[in-house]
Amino acid sequence: MKLVFATHNKNKLDEVKKLVPPHIELVSLTDIGCFDEIPETGTTLEENAKIKADYVTKTYGLACFADDTGLIVDILNGEPGVYSARYAGETKNADDNMNKLLQNLEGKKSREAHFKTVIALNINKEQHVFNGIVEGIIIKEKKGVKGFGYDPIFQPNGYKQTFAQLPQETKNSISHRGLAMKKLLDFLQ
């Protein structure tokens, strides 16, 4: 089975490829010749995932899934949320995003947060939606070099390391994206 993952993000693609069984050929937007930056104009993670999946299915006629992920910090009224990738601006710079978040949390007592991934799958003329959530805290300084995005400042509950410090296999088994992907793969079985 060939399945398009609607992303240009190599880190995200590599992470997801490790979760997909060999009988599924996972290809990216680049692999199908789509170099467009699909606009994420939704006001929720689910809307953005659906927009991206629908764009690929309508334009290329291929089975496709797209995800949108947000880091939700309770004391900041859910920020950065749907704007996680561009929290510090349209350049989508991870360090700038983390620095802005850490600055906005200065002096705050609560640092509770959760990552949420929503995946929209378009297959056989139907759309299916899968969610994954992982609870944790935002630590005060960056730790670790693995992962991407906010991984160096997100410490999942039950662990003393950030996502950027954990082995990839551990992260994949507990992460928001890993949990949502497990639901998608269970559905495809």
Q: In this predicted model, what pLDDT tens digit does every residue of 9-59 receive, in sequence order?
A: 888 898 899 889 999 999 999 999 999 889 889 999 999 999 999 999 999
DSSP state of 85: G
Is 78 a known ligand-binding residue? no
| Tally of CB atoms within 10 A around 25 | 11
CA dihedral 148, 183, 119, 34 (to 10 degrees): 80
2-188 architecture in CATH? Alpha-Beta Complex (3.90)
Return the pLDDT at 164: 96
pLDDT tens per residue, range 134-171:
999 999 999 999 888 999 999 999 999 999 999 989 99
128 is in an annotated binding site: no
Looking at residue 10, what is its pLDDT? 86
Known binding residue 91? Answer is no
Q: Where along the chain do its domains lie?
A: 2-188
Instruction: Answer whether 0.75 is exceeded by the pTM.
Output: yes
Of residues 90, 91, 32, 40, the one with CA closest to residue 68? 40
DSSP letters spanning 142-186: ---SSS-TTGGGEEETT-SS-TTTS-HHHHHHHSHHHHHHHHHHH
Can you read off the two tokens belonging to residue 100? 């802005």
Catalytic residue at 36?
Answer: no
Catalytic residue among 68, 95, 96, 186: 68
